[in-house]
Amino acid sequence: MRAAVMYGAGDVRIEDRPDPEIQQPTDAVVRVVLSCVCGSDLWPYKSMPATGTGRPMGHEFLGVVEETASAVSGVAAGDLVVAPFTYCDNTCDYCARGLHISCRNGGRYGFAGVDGGQGEAVRVPQADGTLVKLPVDADSPLLPSLLTLSDVMGTGHHGAVTAGVERGDSVLVIGDGAVGLCAVIAAKRLGAERIVLMGRHTARTDLGREFGATDVVAERGEEGIARVRELAGGDGVARVIEAVGTLETLQTALASVVDGGTISRLGVPQYEEGPVGASMIMRNITLTGGASPARAYIEELMPDVLDGVIAPGRVFDRTFTLDQAPDAYRAMADRQVLKALITP
């Protein structure tokens, strides 16, 4: 099969790899219908050391089940399914607590001999716990939005949930990437009254307004913080969803939240230390968030996608073929594309 493999910073190649085969009784083989490039894929794209073996890429995909192993009963050949961005058994104690990201029998695509999602097919371990059947046909116009349940919509929702967003809240979303925009959708869905989106790419922030942002702050640093606090009445917002992952955006979050407020971090941190000392403790700020247990949210969010209440698939603004995946990475890294959809 053909698949995208990263060999180092800026070096994504399409190459022939072995076709996926059943290896464990809990496996399924899924033929990919849609996949995409994630913003988190851009961090290794910018910094991954060169390697001679390469790393299969992609962790967001939906497709059709081609084959199942003996212990798989929840899905069958021919089913259209979506896969959360990590696989899980959905039965261990962590999964039972809604922490599928920490599943005792789970793992990540593209590692430990498991295929990446940016390819023609994927061997999915723990298929019963991982794969969720979709009640639409493979040509449904809803597929892009259903694909976001694999990661970005579930991650944006995770940010809103862990930040404690409730009806009437003021919320700041830092970052106008796909996750930030999905966090806007999630905050509105949970009833936030004021949603401030911090970003400076007009096409993206315009989409954010359509998703529910009431205000946009393009300024950064002290100027941006002052503007957010002004919009929130002077003291800051109650909830912050930080969807970038830099030290600067963490500092912005801490300076923009009201005393007693909550910050949820969604962006993969590109730092090891941050300003979380005595000054934060004295303000009673809650710092939370983390990697989304996307599998926990799929059944909750899917009805709103199917009913057209939310349309997170609008974050995909350009489609590439699998052979064009290297171009998709370049386009996203150069900020020419918000989120690249990939077809086989």
d(CA 62, CA 145): 11
Q: Measure Cα distances from 182 to 50, 170, 215, 338 in Å.
A: 33, 16, 16, 12
From the CA atom positions of the chain, what is the Rg in Å?
A: 20
Q: Measure the N-to-C terminal CA separation of the chain; round to a whole number of Å.
A: 10
d(CA 214, CA 170): 10
Structure confidence at residue 148 (pLDDT): 98
Give the β-pairing of 107-108 and 286-289.
Answer: unpaired
Question: 155 Cβ partners below 8 Å, 6+ apart?
Answer: 179, 182, 183, 266, 291, 292, 294
**Over the stretch 102-149, which tens digit does the pLDDT of each residue have?**
999 999 999 999 999 999 999 999 999 999 999 999 999 999 999 999
**Over the stretch 197-207, which tens digit does the pLDDT of each residue have?**
999 999 999 99
The three-point CA angle 184-262-208 to 5° equals: 10
Contact 315, 210 (CB under 8 A): no
What is this structure's pTM?
0.96
Structure confidence at residue 246 (pLDDT): 94
Structure confidence at residue 188 (pLDDT): 98
Low-confidence ranges of the chain (pLDDT < 70): none
